[in-house]
Structure 1
Amino acid sequence: MNRTTDTREHILQTAESLILGKGFAAVGLGPILSAAGVPKGSFYHWFPSKEAFGVALLERYFERYLESLDERFGSAAGTGRARVLGYFADWMDRQRDGGCAQQCLAVKLAAEVADLSEPMRQALEVGTRRITARIAGALQTASQDGSLPAGADPASLAVTLYTLWIGASVLTKAQRDATPFEAAWAHTLHLLGADLH
């Protein structure tokens, strides 16, 4: 990266931690610029508005998340089902006890910005669809290697699982209790046939 793209990345990185803590609407440009140590002109050089900045923030988050999924699901270790189960086990470990509030931008912003900004809602939609497509690909691998129950549809199952875990994340955050994750994990084992082995 050159110095100017470093500045853009620095603004996004700094803002992400602030927004994870307080939400998008609650964090004004002043605190972001102050924390990043950059002048207002630098911000507007990269982002014509706060809304455009929000879109860039979400796109950056999803790109990084998808890279981690590609690395996990592209591994040759274990069955396809084991890789998918490992993904959700890590999700539960990282985010239990409300920890997602400090890690998961999609969960943090989904409800807040869906009605606030159509471009940000679209960025969330595109990002989450790409995640479910990656999960579906991993489940397709599981189907091919025989580790997924016969007759399971990878695309439909991917949407079901991702919806289940997003819901568990929201409830865990609201309740400050890991019970929703435990229920999601038990249901995931059942859907993937892992509770039978």
Structure 2
Amino acid sequence: MKTSTQDTRQHILDIGYQLIAARGFVSVGLSELLKHAEVPKGSFYHYFKSKEQFGEALIEDYFDEYQQRLQILFGNPAQSGLKRLMTYWQGWMTSQADSCSSQKCLVVKLSAEVADLSEPMRVALLKGTQVVQGAISGCITAGIEDKSIKKLSADETAELLYNLWIGASLMAKLSKDDKGLKQAMDITILFLKP
């Protein structure tokens, strides 16, 4: 069965995500990526001009999929805005608390690593995080409207909470425990509840 070029490109991105999420961008060489993806070097260069362009595409793909998941979660009218947000933070906590052995969040994994290494990758990460913060802000607004969240600035609160959780995730990675994530959860609840 012949696969489409789009399938091959996506396959390279999917394998790259698994490797980079586990070990980082710099430590994963092109030959290792190609070996795991089982594609020749020419196929890689057909889709990506460089490893940096691959990294940028990987980040954009990650955020496209992440945004789809947020739309499903935050678009659930059967739950209050607070319930949707707390489900999101609980999922974040669960994914990051696994002693960070399989880091699933590319933002946590790559921000410090690529911010000074690649301007296109830094910009892709920044744009992606702004989209996530916008979705969080929208859910906060929904919670304010349904009175499950106290009145506050949705945009500023989304930015503050996102920064809190990114910081807690980084500390969980360093300390190899979930104490900071639990503190972030407690602060989030106190901050949002009316």
- Normalization by structure 1: what TM-score? 0.94
Deviation, 1:100, is 7.0
Which residue matches 2:53? Answer: 52
Q: What is the distance in 2 between the residues matched to 1:102 and 1:139?
A: 27
Q: Which residue of 2 aligns with 1:183?
A: 183
Matched, 1:159 2:159: yes
Native 8 Å contact 1:132 1:162 kept in 2: yes
> 8 Å contact 1:17–1:102 — kept in the other structure?
no
Q: How does 1:47-196 map to 2 (within 5 A)?
A: 47-99=48-100, 101-150=102-151, 152-193=152-193
> 2:100, 2:176 within 8 Å by CA — same for their partners in 1?
no
Name stretches of at least 5 consecutive residues in structure 2 with no aligned partner.
Answer: none
Q: How far apart, CA to CA, are the structure 2 residues paired with 1:37 and 1:55?
A: 21
Q: In structure 1, how many angstroms separate the alpha carbons of the residues matched to 2:176 and 2:149?
A: 33
Hey, what's the Cα distance between the residues in 2 that align with 1:93 and 1:48?
A: 36
CA distance in 2, matches of 1:17, 1:154: 33
Structure 1 window deviating more from structure 2 (140-149 vs 124-133): it is 140-149
The aligned amino acid for 2:5 is T
Q: Which amino acid aligns with 2:167?
A: G
Paired amino acid for 2:63: F
Residue 6 of structure 2 is aligned to residue 18 of structure 1 = no
Partner Cα separation in structure 2 for residue 55 and residue 188 of structure 1: 31
- CA displacement at 1:98 relative to structure 2: 2.7
* In 2, Cα distance between equivalents of 1:76 and 1:144: 12
Q: 1:31-42, aligned counterparts within 5 Å? A: 31-42=32-43
For the 8 Å contact 1:101–1:108, the answer to whether it is kept is no
2: CA distance between counterparts of 1:134 and 1:69? Answer: 7
- SS of match in other structure, 2:189: helix
CA contact 1:97–1:173 (8 Å) conserved in 2: no
Aligned length, in residue pairs: 192
Secondary structure at the residue paired with 1:54? helix
- Asked whether the equivalents of residues 22 and 101 of structure 2 are also in contact (C-alpha less than 8 Å), the reply is no
TM-score (norm 2): 0.96
1-structure distance, mates of 2:6, 2:134: 29
SS in 2 for 1:103: coil
Q: Which has the higher helix share?
A: 1
The whole-number CA distance in structure 1 between the counterparts of 2:99 and 2:110 is 15
Q: Is the 8 A contact 1:21 1:101 kept in 2?
A: yes
Matched residue of 1:98: which SS?
coil
Could you tell me how far apart the structure 2 residues matched to 1:19 and 1:149 are? 39
Aligned letter for 1:24?
F
Q: Percent identity?
A: 45
Q: Give, in angstroms, the shift of residue 145 of structure 1.
A: 1.0
Which segment is superposed worse, 89-98 or 47-56? Answer: 89-98
- 8 Å CA contact 1:139–1:148 kept in 2: the answer is yes
